[in-house]
Amino acid sequence: MMLISIITINYNDKLGLERTIRSVQNQTYSNFEFIVIDGGSSDGSKEIIELNTEKLDFWVSEPDNGIYHAMNKGIKVAKGEYLYFLNSGDHFDNYNALEKINAHLTEKDVVYFDIKVVEKKGVRIKKCPKQLSFQFLHQDLPAHQATFIKKSLFESLGYYDENLKIVSDWKFLILAICKHQASYKYIEDVFSIYYADGLSSKEESQSLIKFEREQVLNAEFSAFFVDVKERYKLERNLRNLRKSKTIKLLVKLGLIHEF
């Protein structure tokens, strides 16, 4: 059986951390290591970790420099062939999730699944495309709570960019797939639950996400980014034309075909 490294980062989310630890500990698949990186929480999270130390392979509770600094700490100590980030509060959807996943972790650099998202307005399944195109990745990515990445990929490409506050996991994936031709595989299945209350899900974070993504795209894919922006401009013009009363009248009169 392949060793999987499960990395959980936490900062002042005691209840979420308890939920995540319980979910991992209840898995029927046993060939994994569990790493918890806490950012020096003051809400009792450290005490929860200490109560579960016998079931953790590595843990630390100390101040860090942000999400990606914490994730990189986990990557550095991980011994598994595949790394999986299950952040505080998120959890597996059942006890045999890792058992099911293990069959799909073979030779690919990246293996990703769909994910169940819990939002204020309800629950939905976030689907992923089978083919990861630049058009998809330039504005989206498979959820990291449903993605397994070979540690060797981090070792060859480098760890998460700690200069970015919110899109470094996205940067790593778009560079790995679109620039370095990392291999990948999509599995149309769900095994984890993500609660949309984290930093990247907040409305006030959207402008920062856009800003940081555009920085990366301009630096790494400037020519492609120009083409994508032009395509979106044309698509927007087309949508506006379809809404035009004049166009609708011309279609109704049979003078032009619907488009």
Q: What is the arithmetic mean of pLDDT over 32-47?
A: 97
Which residue in this structure is represented by tokens 């927007």? 236
CA angle 101, 105, 106 (to 5 degrees): 150
Rg for the chain, CA atoms, rounded: 21
**Residue with the two structure tokens 């005691």:** 14
Averaged over 123-128, what is the pLDDT? 93
Residue 222's pLDDT is 77
Say what the pTM is: 0.85
- Confidence at residue 120, expressed as pLDDT on a 0 to 100 scale: 83
Q: What is the pLDDT of residue 226?
A: 63
Q: What is the pLDDT of residues 155-208, one digit of tens each?
A: 999 999 999 999 999 999 999 999 999 999 999 999 999 987 655 555 667 889
C-alpha 5/C-alpha 236 separation (Å) is: 43
Q: How far apart are CA 193 and CA 216, in angstroms?
A: 29
Lowest pLDDT segment from 36-45, 143-152, 227-236: 227-236
Query: CA-CA distance, 223 to 217, in Å (whole number)?
Result: 9
Contacts with 46 (C-beta within 8 Å, 6 or more apart), sequence order? 38, 61
Average pLDDT of every residue of the chain: 89
219-259 confidence digits (pLDDT tens): 888 766 666 666 656 566 667 667 777 767 666 666 667 76
- 65-69, 110-114, 207-211: which range is least confident on average? 207-211
Q: Which CATH architecture has domain 4-198?
A: Alpha-Beta Complex (3.90)
- Amino acid residing at 38: D
Mean per-residue pLDDT, 141-157: 95
* DSSP bridge partners of 58: 35
The C-alpha atoms of residue 128 and residue 141 are separated, in whole angstroms, by: 8
List C-alpha distances in Å: 229 to 170, 222, 233: 19, 11, 6
Q: Compare 135 and 163 and report the one with higher pLDDT.
A: 163
Closest to 109 (Cα-Cα) out of 149, 79, 146: 149
Q: What sign has the CA pseudo-torsion 85, 89, 95, 97?
A: negative
Q: Enumerate residues 6+ apart whose C-beta is below 8 A from 216.
A: 164, 167, 170, 171, 174
| Average pLDDT, integer, range 51-77 | 96
The pairing of strands 58-61 and 122-126 is unpaired
Q: Give 145's contacts (C-beta < 8 A, 6+ positions apart).
A: 85, 86, 87, 90, 115, 192, 194
pLDDT, residue 199, reads 52
The model's confidence at residue 24, banded by pLDDT at 50, 70 and 90, is: very high
Given this model, what pLDDT does residue 224 score?
Answer: 66
Provide the pLDDT for residue 169: 96
pLDDT of the residue at 14? 95
